[in-house]
Amino acid sequence: MKKLIVLFTAVLLSLPLIAEAHTDRFPDGEAPKQKDEVRYTIIRHDTLWDISGRFLNDNFKWPQVWKLNPYIKNPHLIYPGDVIRIVPPEGVEGKEEKTGEFDMGTLPVVEVAPGTESVVTLEPEAPVMPPPPVPTVSSSAISRKGFISEYALEESGAIIGSSEERMLLYEGDVVFLSFKEGEAVEAGSRYTIYTTASKVKHPGKSKSPGYMIDILGSLVVTEVTEPVTAKVDESYKEIEVGARLMPYREPVSEVKMTDADAEVTGYIVAALDGSNNLIKGDIVYIDRGTEDGLKDGNTMRIYRNREKVGDPVSGGRVRLPDEDLGALVVVHADTKTSSCIIIKSLKAIMPGDRVTTTGLE
């Protein structure tokens, strides 16, 4: 009898995971319940990907779960304690049973000594599943070309000579460097070697936002002397004396999307490959950065202003609503500019189109 009591307790304790647990914490209040609907309380490490696999037997149905819970603004950001709604497809039952019919033989049996109380808690098994996909970019492409602002160029160091007095430098060569006064240079510091290519014209201002650059390789500081000594540790092309330097950062292979903390609006000023017809997957550069409130992973809407048209009723001119073109995500935010990847393209996108952190669906 005591074993049976413990088993019954275990069954009752397992029910909150498969019933309307904590429905008072559902962000939109008591939403209408559909037929066969399951209410599930999110626990630590949960993702929509593994929840869909557990209840719908198909991880790729996570967008359906997201759509059913409109209070979730970003599918990559869900929080323990929130309650989500799940409607399994007809004829499919998730791995968490909803009927209340349990196989008593699968429950743990605990011996209870006379005069003692015992509680059996069944923790949900956490499946090891990958999270929903995140946008990825090609590290080989983004590590060979780039964009630098006028400000960053002015602050750059430079190669001023080599130990062998050669003009063309390669991997393994010892070189001498010059930096702006006050630059904190330490032995072991790594720098990207680059040279400027074309100057970029800003679509809305007279002042150029910066330059397209070719990345030639990287070097590591070996001695903080006068001048600073370094060794070229990687070369993609011939490196010449006079090449510029900027702090090294690892090429980005993937980035997780996050909501922006500030309202930021700017322009696409250039594309990595110089193209004027841009689509999903292309790398672009915008004229906004960390000092404007952007950070890595922020998503932005891409749009185009429509021209004003004549209004025969008022006799004036009226600007039509903006034309939505797609969306991008910030891969790396510098001080005044950012590198981005287009993650959605509804029409051909081009330098000069606008971007904003507002109005995202």
138-147, 319-328, 340-349 — which is least confidently predicted?
A: 138-147
Domain end, chosen from 70, 99, 128, is at 99
Q: What is the CATH number of the domain that holds 233?
A: 2.40.30
pLDDT: which is higher, 112 or 79: 79
**CA 349/CA 228 separation, integer angstroms:** 44
**pTM for this entry:** 0.57
**CA 48/CA 117 separation, integer angstroms:** 37
User: What mean pLDDT do residues 41-53 have?
Assistant: 86
For the chain, how many helices (H) and strands (E)? 5, 19
From the CB of residue 12, how many other CB atoms can be counted at a distance below 10 Å? 9
pLDDT: which is higher, 355 or 76: 355
The C-alpha angle with vertex 89 and arms to 88 and 93, in degrees rounded to 5, equals 55
Element (H, E) at 93: none
Residues 295 and 230 in one domain: no
- Residue 288 tokens read as 């906004």
Residue carrying the six token digits 């700017």: 266
In a domain, 118, yes or no: no
Scored b (16 or more CB within 10 A) or e, 201-215 reads: ebbeeeeebbbbbeb
Q: What is the CATH number of the domain that holds 40?
A: 3.10.350.10
Average pLDDT of the chain to the nearest whole number = 77
Residues 145 and 235 in one domain: yes
Q: CB–CB of 199/211 below 8 Å?
A: yes
In a domain, 134, yes or no: no
Residues 211 and 162 in one domain: yes
In a domain, 110, yes or no: no
Residues 271 and 241 in one domain: no
Residues 238 and 147 in one domain: yes
74-83, 109-118, 315-324, 341-350 — which is least confidently predicted?
A: 109-118
pLDDT tens per residue across span 109-137: 444 444 444 444 444 555 555 555 555 55
In a domain, 114, yes or no: no
Residues 191 and 236 in one domain: yes
Domain interval for residue 61: 19-99
Residues 286 and 233 in one domain: no
Nearest CA to 31 out of 82, 78, 73 is that of: 82
From the CB of residue 291, how many other CB atoms can be counted at a distance below 10 Å? 11
In a domain, 113, yes or no: no
In a domain, 72, yes or no: yes
**Looking at residue 328, what is its pLDDT?**
92
Q: CB–CB of 282/265 below 8 Å?
A: no
